[in-house]
Each structure stands twice: as structure tokens, then as C-alpha cells.
Amino acid sequence: MRRPAWRLVQLCMVCGLCSLLYALAQRGSGNSEAQEPAAASTAVWRGALGQRRRCKDFSLSFWNPYWMLPTGVCGKNCFWEAAFRYNPPEKHELDLDPMHLAVVACGNRLEETVTMLKSALLFSIKPLTFHIFAEDQLHSDFSTILNRWGFSQKFKYTLYPISFPSENAAEWRKLFKPCASQRLFLPLILKDVDSLLYVDTDILFLRSVDDIWSFLNEFNSTQIAAMAPEHEEPRIGWYNRFARHPYYGKTGINSGVMLMNMTRIRRKHFKNDMTTVRLHWGEMLMPLLKKYKLNITWGDQDLLNIIFSHNPESLYVFPCQWNYRPDHCIYGSNCNEAEDGIFILHGNRGVYHDNKQPAFRAVYEALRNFSFGDDVIHSLLHPLELELQKTEHTYCGRIHKLFTKQLTKSIHDFYTRQSNVR
């Protein structure tokens, strides 16, 4: 009965002797790793935390002794590394499923669209796939600019022509702004895309796209899309005061930022006020337009309000800081959630290009003038803060710190990620 115990003691002594010999050999060697134990230890800890890893292969089982590890597998700090090898490696960012972002650009919206895409790329973590619907004459310019950016591993893009159902193409094209109603047909055109974030050209991301994309995981079993309210304050709301058609909730919804589970949209049968029979998305659009075309002011956004007024269980409503517009500050701040910072800025009504809302224009021009490779703090944040201080004569300018609060945090997170991959 005592022999197995004695053999165990002998085995421990042999292991201890081997470890001592290995440590002495490492101490006596002249390599840089032995001379910098603190740096080596830091690297291993980064690996254990899921950050930068020194080891190339984690396929061995956790009990493999360090003297049997093949080339490319770490042999130091084998207790920590053995435990780390026991867990499968985390998926690399570039191997993650991409986020899909769509935009529709017509007329003179090239610069605005490019600035929006730049802001989306700047802070995103997972790779992005851009679906750009544009008039034919803009395709060459888009390709030239996006190809010049490089880092193709971070994003891909596809250019599409503007297209509507042939029998009613002219009517859809002139609805509200040129080409704006293209967004209604995205679930029917992008048949292989499961989920999509649609944004207007006048959108600027001050926070990672990953964060709004994560709302998809919060959808319940009936929700197919997410948008923000049109207004927070009913006294200045447009829909509740002037609309001549059904609209969602108390003040309607704004479609400038629209997150969609397009698989669910394509499958759903929608309730409507045209027939007792529930209709698919594609079956419903033209009848809705024919019924309400004399009563709608904001085109495709009004049609979306009508659809979700009859199917309120299908909409996820996210807070106003994810679609922050001049209406939220023009008469005083009325988006309480923005006290944590503005996440997505929406410069509707052309405020990026006139002097009506200089705070919005300052953010747009700062991002437009920023170039990839520049220092984000000195080339983007600091110039913007100086310009925003000049806007304090306006209601929106008086709360200009909300315009940079989240941006500052996004830049901090950006540099933290950069330092972790060096």
C-alpha cells in the first residue's frame, strides 16, 4: 500500500529537479526574454485576459508538460499558460461576422455619405460591410475614395444602382426626397442579408457601430426593427399635431436610423388597414402608397409609421441619444438620455451645410476634415471643442459638452484597443 505513495514522491522530486534545471538554464542564457522577465510575464497576462497572445498554438491539452511543447507553443509560466490552453482561443475580430450598414445617396450627397462612412469605421470593432445605393454617376467617386482608405480587412463595400419596382418606379423615385424610399425595398433587394442597419446620409457615429448593432440581441420574439421616437416633447411634435394618417405611439418614429432583422421582415405577415388579410412586406408597400399618397408629408418615414402603428409589437424603440436631431435642443434640451452623451448625431434639414445649427455643423466639419492616420485627439477632438465653444449663443451650443462627451470616451476606448494589439 506504501509503494504507490513512494512512487508519487519520487515523481514529484523528478519534476521539481527538472523545473530547477530549466530555471537555471534560462537564467544563464543570454536571450532577451530571460533578461526581461517582467515584459514576458506581462505578455502572458495579456494572453490570459484575452488580449495580445504570444503563443501561436493552443491545440494541446492542458496537462502537456512544458518540455514536450513543440515550436511555437509557449514554455514559460506553464501553470498560467496550461490553464489558458485549456480554454479555446477567442475568435479574432476580423473573423467575426460583419455588421451590415446600408445608405442611399443621390444628388449632392457624396461628401455627406463619405463622412458618415468614415465615422462608422473610426470606432467600430467588428468589420463592416457597406451597402451603398447610389445614382450611377456617383459610383466612380465612391470607389475612388473608399479604395484610397486602404485597410480592406476592416470593411468591404458594394455599390448598387437605384432601383424600384418597374411598374411604379417613377412614383417611388419622386416620393419625398430623391431616392429616399429606396430603403423600403432593402429587405427585398438584399435577400442574403439577415440583419441590417440603415442610416440616412446625414448621420454621424460618435460611438461604435457595434453598440447599436447589439440591440439586435435585445429584440424579443415579435420585434423586427428598431427606431427612435420622432419627438420626446409632444408639445413640439409634428405627428401628434399635424399628421393625417396613422403613426406609431404618441409622437411617431424617425426612420433616419433603422436597425432591421430582415429575415423576420421577409417572413412576417403584417396587419394593415387595407384588408383583413395579413400581407407580406412586399405586398403591402404599393397599396399603402396608393391609399395615403395624398396625406403623407415625409414620404417613406410616414409609410413606416403607418405600418408600425398597426404592428406596434414588432418595433423596438431605442432612446433618443441614438438619433439625436436639432429638435432635441433647438428650444432647449429635451432628450434626457443624452445627458450620458450623444451617440449618433442626425443633422437633418441640412444643418450641416447652413448656419442655423452651428453646433451640428461643427461636428460634421470636424469629421469631414479628419483623415485616417491622423491623431484623433489633436486632429479631431481638440479642434472640435474649440469650434463648439463658439456656438454657445444657440440653445444647442449651450449644451455642446454633450456633443463631445461620448466622442471623448470613444476616443479613449479606441486608443486602449490600439495599445492592446501592439
DSSP assignment letter at 67 = G
Tell me whether strands 99-105 and 195-199 are parallel, antiparallel or unpaired: parallel
Q: How far apart are CA 415 and CA 249, in angstroms?
A: 41
Q: Is the pLDDT of residue 351 over 60?
A: yes
Contact criterion met (CB below 8 Å) for 258 and 230: no
Per the structure block, which three cell numbers stand in for 57? 498554438
For the chain, the 3-state helix, strand and coil shares in percent, each to the nearest 5, are 50, 15, 35
More confident residue, 14 or 338: 338
CB atoms within 10 A of CB 286: 14
Mean pLDDT across 103-113: 96
pLDDT at 418: 78
CA distances from 111 to 117, 134, 147 (A): 10, 13, 15
**Which residues are CB-contacts of 358 (< 8 A; sequence separation ≥ 6)?**
390, 391, 394, 397
Q: What is the DSSP string of 202-246?
A: TEEESS-HHHHHGGGGG--TT--EEEEES-S-GGG-SHHHH-SS-
Please name the amino acid found at residue 212. I
Q: State pTM to two decimals.
A: 0.77
Q: Is the pLDDT of residue 112 over 90?
A: yes
Mean pLDDT across 320-327: 97
**Least confident segment among 74-88, 302-316, 374-388:** 74-88
- Segment of 31-40, 73-82, 113-122, 233-242 carrying the highest mean pLDDT: 113-122
Q: What is the pLDDT of residues 44-62, one digit of tens each?
A: 332 332 333 334 333 333 3
- Segment of 13-17, 63-67, 276-280 carrying the highest mean pLDDT: 276-280
pLDDT at 364: 98
Mean pLDDT across 173-188: 84
Q: Report H helices in 98-161.
A: 110-123, 136-149
pLDDT at 57: 39
Mean pLDDT across 207-234: 96
Per the structure block, which three cell numbers stand in for 52? 495580445
Pick the closest to residue 248 from 315, 198, 200, 300 (CA basis).
315
Q: How far apart are CA 45 and CA 36, in angstroms?
A: 15
Q: What is the 3-state secondary structure (H, E, C) of 143-167?
A: HHHHHHHCCCCCEEEEEECCCCCHH
pLDDT over 70 percentage in the chain: 77
Q: How far apart are CA 217 and CA 169, in angstroms?
A: 35
pLDDT at 24: 57
Q: How far apart are CA 140 and CA 146, in angstroms?
A: 10
